[in-house]
Amino acid sequence: MSEPGPSGVRHLPGHIAAALAGAGGRTDSAGQPWAGRSLAGEDAVIHNFEDDDGSANPDFVAALSALLAGTGSEEHVVASLVAARVFVPIVATVAEEAAGAGGLVSDKQADMALVTLQAADGRKALPVFTNTKALSEWHPQARPVAVYAARAALSAVAEGADLMVLDPGSLLPFVLRRPAVWSLAQQTAWRPSYADTEVAEVMALGLENHPAVRRLEILPGGGVAAQAADGTAVPGGGAGPELRAVLYLEDGLDAQAVQALVGELHAGWAQNVLFSERVDSIEIKIRRASQ
């Protein structure tokens, strides 16, 4: 049985909203807004990091290589981004058109727009690239703007994107889910929900009024793993669900009782602030206590 994570209108926690307001999430590495940018003159500058050759951050490369080798974790990949420079793609869009003589369109004005994607589950995702080569191969017309990954995460929040996708089109596109995006925006350590003891405590407390649940097991969800372009299975970087809750129930419950129990548990967990902030998506599996 699969249940979505907390849904509906999501109000940003105060610390996220404050970080966004104080850091200008819609700006580039120089603090200039992307909206309203032209393609001429000084606005055509790619980025403002001196002596930057456009290559990927070495710590990120090492963390991703370890993940591909099966010796790393998605937690380490996200941690490698805290102080890393990345590139966000922006593209030219027509902002204004003036009608000329004979009804012909003239005087087009080009603005720069931040590129976003729609994930398979319908959520908005911000593509982010660790190097200019990957970005140009993905979208040759996109202009790379260099920012620290934390600022890119703030931009994702500002754009209403729950996901960040690192290097789409590469050997291993790596997905950062909402809790990781929020942690990166604050430059704080992120721990996946399936390894978070505080999340486990919240979920265990939610069982107090449900004696039919004999045991709760928390595991990585089926969506944590990703598949590299060469078919290699990778233990991290997937889009979700990220958390699997296995409920071991007493015998004798019919389908209707099980469905009601799961609904009550999920609703109770989702109302908890800590759970709502740290869990992006959850799948619930049912087992007999005798198993």
* Chain segment 217-255, per-residue pLDDT in tens: 999 999 999 999 999 999 999 988 999 999 999 999 999
φ/ψ (deg, to 5) at 216: -125, 130
Say if residue 67 is in the same domain as residue 93.
yes
Which residues fall within 8 angstroms of residue 251, CB to CB, at 6 or more apart?
Answer: 288, 289, 290
Among 140, 162, 186, the domain boundary falls at 186
For residues 181 and 229, state if they share a domain: no
pLDDT at 121: 86
For 106, half-sphere exposure in the C-beta direction (CA atoms, 13 angstrom radius) is 6
Tell me the pairing of strands 143-148 and 117-118: unpaired
Examine residue 215 and state whether it is found in any structural domain, yes or no: yes
Number of folded domains in the chain?
2
162, 186, 210 - which closes a domain: 186
* Distance of alpha carbon 219 from alpha carbon 199, whole angstroms: 12
Q: Is the pLDDT of residue 22 over 60?
A: no
Q: Each residue of 89-138: pLDDT tens digit?
A: 988 765 555 555 544 544 455 466 788 899 888 999 999 999 999 999 99
- Per the model's pLDDT, the better-predicted residue between 98 and 215 turns out to be 215
Domain-embedded: residue 271? yes
Inside any domain, residue 2: no
The model carries a pTM of: 0.79
In a shared domain, residues 214 and 245:
yes
The pLDDT value recorded for residue 17 is 52
Q: What is the pLDDT of residue 92?
A: 75
Is position 76 within any domain?
Answer: yes
Residue-wise pLDDT for 256-272, tens only, equals 999 999 999 999 999 99
- Here the CATH number for the domain that contains residue 264 is 3.30.70
**Do 93 and 181 fall within a single domain?**
yes
Does 92 fall in a domain?
yes
Residues 116 and 214 both lie in one domain: no
236/117 same-domain check: no
Examine the pLDDT at 274 and tell me if it is beyond 80. yes
- The reply to whether 165 and 280 lie within a common domain is no
Per-residue pLDDT reduced to its tens digit, 163-206: 999 999 999 999 999 999 999 999 999 999 999 999 999 999 99
Is 4 a member of any domain? no
Residues 167, 78, single domain; the answer is: yes
Residue 38 pLDDT exceeds 90:
no
What average pLDDT does the segment 43-62 reach? 77
Please identify, among 186, 206, 233, the residue that sits at the C-terminal boundary of a domain. Answer: 186
Answer for the pair 115, 93: CB distance below 8 angstroms, yes or no: no
16 & 122 share domain: yes
Rounded to an integer, what distance in angstroms lies between the CA atom of residue 52 and that of residue 85? Answer: 9
Burial bucket for residue 53 (CB in 10 Å: 0-12, 13-18, 19+): exposed
290 band by pLDDT with thresholds 50, 70 and 90: confident
DSSP class per residue in 147-167: EEHHHHHHHHHHTT-SEEEES
Domain co-membership, 22 together with 128: yes
CA distance 34 to 31: 9
Sign of the Cα pseudo-torsion (203, 156, 236, 287, in order) = positive
In this structure, are 50 and 160 located in the same domain? yes
Inside any domain, residue 3: no
Across the chain, the runs of DSSP E, i.e. the strands, are 2-3, 85-99, 105-114, 117-118, 124-128, 143-148, 163-166, 174-176, 213-220, 226-227, 233-234, 243-249, 282-288
Residues of the domain holding 114: 12-186
- Determine, yes or no, domain membership for 223: yes
Residues 78 and 18 in one domain: yes
